[in-house]
Structure 1
Amino acid sequence: MLNRRKNKYSSINDYRYSFISYNDENGSQWDFSKKQLLLVVFLCVSIVGTGLFFATDYLTKILYQTKLKSLKRDYGKISLTLSKLQEQMDLLSTHVVNIEEKDRALRTYANMPQIDKDIRKLGVGGMEVVKPLKLDYQISDPSEKLIDLEMNIDNLTRKVKLELASYSNIYNKVIKESDRLKSIPSIRPVNGGYINSGFGYRNDPFTSKPRFHYGQDITVPSGTNIYAPADGVVKYAARQGGFGKVIKLDHGYGYRTIFAHLSKFYVKWGQKVKRGDLIGKSGNTGRSAGPHLHYEVHRNGVPQNPLDYFFSGYIK
């Protein structure tokens, strides 16, 4: 029990406090002055306050560490997901590049103008986005990866739209001019082979003097199948001087093709052929330094570079 009593020898505000314990028969009493009691109370409050402070700080750190670990796990998952999405985007971009190459070949085949490289770069409905320079001390985070991914998706979407529009134009052109397109030499006349002496000036293999070469030589073993590069009619299938055994096809629309140094014919004069039909076999007949196919393309009587008419592989 705590009692307050005034000290008769002190000033009016000088009180003493007594703490009396009745736990035993004799009891116990402790006397405190007001200052002593205030000091004890202050110490108790300080100890309790300090304890609460450190306890709160400790709990806060635990909660922070727990939250930080959770955020790191989420960061890792998000970063991994974005990386996988970026890999898929890179793969799709590769496919788009392949589609663009086929688009260029088809436009050449359909006698259509090529898409301007700047337009192809930007695609449909967009403008080039310049990414800010990334400083060395900046750390990549998911938000940056997400921004890059969004930009790549937008760029890819615009390119796909451009290709869809381009293919639509090509399709309409092909439908309108299907007969003419069937007559344009557009496949390799042999499967594989080594591209040897090309179109243009070269040293003649027999005289070593410069001479214009009007075709494309393709080194292949004797007996290699020769295919018609377009629909047409056989205008010649016989021997012709230095060319040896020769086949000449008239494809119409001003296109003619010549196949020289053959070993065997599978067609005859006046026969109609379709693109990809087997017409003969390669050989080493005539004025030839070794087994190969000499192939020429003429348009309106003017020799053309045959490589400009290799739009795809052989058709069979």
Structure 2
Amino acid sequence: MSKVKYYYDSETLSYRKIERKKRRTFKFAAMFILAAALFGFLFVFIASQYVESPKERALKRELANMQLQYQLLNKKMDEAQTVLSSIEDRDNNIYRLYFEANPIPEEQRKAGFGGVNRYKNLEGFDNSKLIIESNKRIDILQKQIVVQSKSLDEIAELAKEKEKLLAAIPAIQPVRNEDLTRMASGYGTRIDPFTKARKMHWGMDFTAPRGTPIYATGDGVVIRADNRSTGYGNHIRIDHGYGYVSLYAHLYKYNVRKNQKVKRGDLIGFVGSTGRSEAPHLHYEVFKDEQRINPINFYYGSLTAEEFNELLEHASMENQSLD
């Protein structure tokens, strides 16, 4: 039951009942509702600023997890970049240098991507800058890996070719040291055994008994095994490729035929004294690009340092050749 309120009327000196007008009642009600709404809005606003909802907490956890994943991704990219940089350094300064290939320029290894905007579809998001930078870094890293991969493919091919070259170079002595009687004459001006005049001796003479084995000094193909070359008698020529040809003259007999493939160390013939020869020996020559060169520089594959020095000393003497 509502309370009845009175007020004191000083004119009539009596208490009069307060009559509340409906309009005023409506006004008070409206003010109350407005005040309640304002208070509620203020409460919700303050709560939204300082009190997190479950959804907001979930989104914050998701954002924190994404930031952690981004940091881990960056760390992995840093590690990958460090490893790749080390490989690039070895590639330029060791591998490519060893195989006589030009180093890959730094600007080619780390070049970006010009032209159209490759990341337009990633724009317009809250973290677009972060996402775009990460994608750029990954793309550049992938490009560096592709460049390095192609370089290593090239190095692998060069290594195969280098291996063939090293096997082909005439790099051993054609007659074993234990089979030699002596090193008769070397490359250079020598006394001709028949005319006694000084003339150029284009090879090395290895004195050994008739029938002593002669070995191929490098991998190659026999291009001649005949006696149709003036002065050489029975002789063999092996084409090693890369401009190298070796010649073995004054043989007693052959152990190979024309067009036969041989490997370094294969038995190809036997020491004799055919052709223009004074005594049983092997006359050995090496050609590079059709020019005769000193064979003394090609015995690193079969002689020790001491044996090579001894051979060099004997080969340097200006004595009489045997052919």
TM normalised by structure 1 equals 0.44
TM normalised by structure 2 equals 0.43
Greater relative contact order, per chain length (Cα 8 Å cut-off, separation 6+): 2
